[in-house]
Amino acid sequence: MDEDIRKLADAIYVEKVRRARTLTVGERIATGIALFEDALGMMRDGIRMQFPEADKDEVEVILKRRLARLRQVHEHGLYTEGPLLR
């Protein structure tokens, strides 16, 4: 079963790469922006779950603090990209 899952995952990955290679530069930028906005939405949802009493402004403050922390981790070399992210 694990081998079947690996083969399926590999096929999905190859198809995603194939589709990505057909995108124009503008489409790639737009896709990147959309993915980032989606990630921000998920982060906001997680913050709201963790701090249900937080209002919209408080959620944004926590989000900005977390993004700053992620930037610090990346800049100090504490985070390294995996082979698929390079």
User: Distance of CA 63 to CAs 14, 15, 46, 67, 69, Å?
Assistant: 33, 33, 10, 6, 10
Alpha helix (H) residue ranges in the chain: 2-21, 25-50, 56-75
Domain range list for the chain: 2-75
20-37 confidence digits (pLDDT tens): 999 999 999 999 999 999
Q: What confidence score (pLDDT) does residue 86 get?
A: 47
**How confident is the model over 72-76, as a mean pLDDT?**
87
Return the half-sphere exposure (C-beta side, CA atoms, 13 A cut-off) of residue 75. 6
